[in-house]
Amino acid sequence: MSTQTIPAKPSIRERWNNLSRPAQWACLIPLVLFVYALPWLNPPLIATTGTDFPTAMFDVARYALVAVGLNVVVGQAGLLDLGYVGFFAVGAYVAALFTSPNSTLTKLPYLWTLPLAMVITMIFGIILGTPTLRLRGDYLAIVTLGFGEMIRLIADNVTPLRGQSGFERVATDAAGKSFLPTASWWYVLTVTLIIVVLLFVGNLERSRVGRAWVAIREDEDAAEIMGVATYKFKIWAFVIGAAIGGLSGALYAGKLGFVNNQSFDVVTSMLFLAAVVLGGAGNKVGVLLGAVVVAYMPLRFVQIAEYNYLIFGIALIVLMIFRPQGLLGARQRLLARGRQAYQRLLGKGEQISGDSALTPEPTAKGTV
């Protein structure tokens, strides 16, 4: 009796990739418009009883932007960063120092502080990454954890940063009027920046830089042997992630209108990391989902908000046991590239092809 092989059903991602570009845009545009309209729609099913709904949506969007930036470092390059809140804090203080009347620095229009915050946090990323990114694993995690705490202590003890007194009227004009009138418009600005950042990160993921990150994440030693400049590409990941973290911090400072050192503790950094791990490190849609879970659930279910750290901790343990890749794991095709290249390096497969993710393009020195 002959047996017939039943073809596997295509996954959602495969179905999506099989759609034409116009069909993909036809699906995305209504979804994006719906996301933009959420603060005004205020659907009863997802309304937040304890918090103004537009403010809640801004918090979710802020976490989503943070998660996208941290995903570049943790998910795409495989660098465990436990002090990402430090870059978030630097961005917030840049916005405060250049817009608050409590600061003695020259005042700038708030929108100018957004790229300025990104540039300054990129510099901090270079300063931190240059000596530390030769470390790996737990050693790198400990150093980054110390960086996040160091930024908080500097803010507490350096007089111009005003410690717990902080900066008031951030992103306001001389009359005390906020840069944007309502939380809804802060949400719109943040969602717009998320879309821009996602497009930028997506292009990087498909470039040689993204392929190098995958190689480093899968097996850094094999990547080095095959000519990938691992240190350089790790610096790139760290700096790009830092810039996105600084941008989100500046948005947070502008919306809140107040910045002090109490908002940038280790617990906040762990929540940022939880959003990435819960959603699926390496998957952009996954980390957005993780950010929604981490930021929205305590606002929606206020009865359990005081137990949110316990709940997220248990959720992480359960995921590590039963689904270590997160709710939406990284793209398996990208994960497979590093493994295949490593197997070929060991002589278990055919010669490395010219379009391999790890194959360097010809350069003067023969490195990527």
Domains and CATH numbers, the chain: 50-345 (1.10.3470)
| Spatial separation of the C-alpha atoms in residues 11 and 87, rounded to whole Å | 37
Identify the sign of the CA torsion 74, 56, 319, 12.
negative
Mean pLDDT of the chain: 82
Q: For position 103, what pLDDT does the model report?
A: 86
Query: What global pTM score does this model have?
Result: 0.83
230 near 288, Cβ under 8 Å?
no
Helix (H) or strand (E) holding 18: helix 12-18
Among 62, 368, 347, smallest CA distance to 188 is for 62
110 near 288, Cβ under 8 Å?
no
Residue with tokens 């929108």: 111
Alpha-helix runs per DSSP H in 182-262: 183-205, 208-218, 220-225, 230-256
Low-confidence ranges of the chain (pLDDT < 70): 1-14, 16, 173-176, 324, 329-368
Among 71, 367, 65, smallest CA distance to 233 is for 367
| Spatial separation of the C-alpha atoms in residues 174 and 290, rounded to whole Å | 39
Q: For position 340, what pLDDT does the model report?
A: 54
Q: For position 350, what pLDDT does the model report?
A: 39
Q: For position 5, what pLDDT does the model report?
A: 57
Q: For position 263, what pLDDT does the model report?
A: 84
| Spatial separation of the C-alpha atoms in residues 87 and 118, rounded to whole Å | 9
- Exposed e or buried b for every residue in 164-200, given b needs 16+ CB within 10 A? eebbbbbbbeeeeebbbeebbbbbbbbbebbeebbee
Q: For position 175, what pLDDT does the model report?
A: 55
Q: For position 360, what pLDDT does the model report?
A: 45
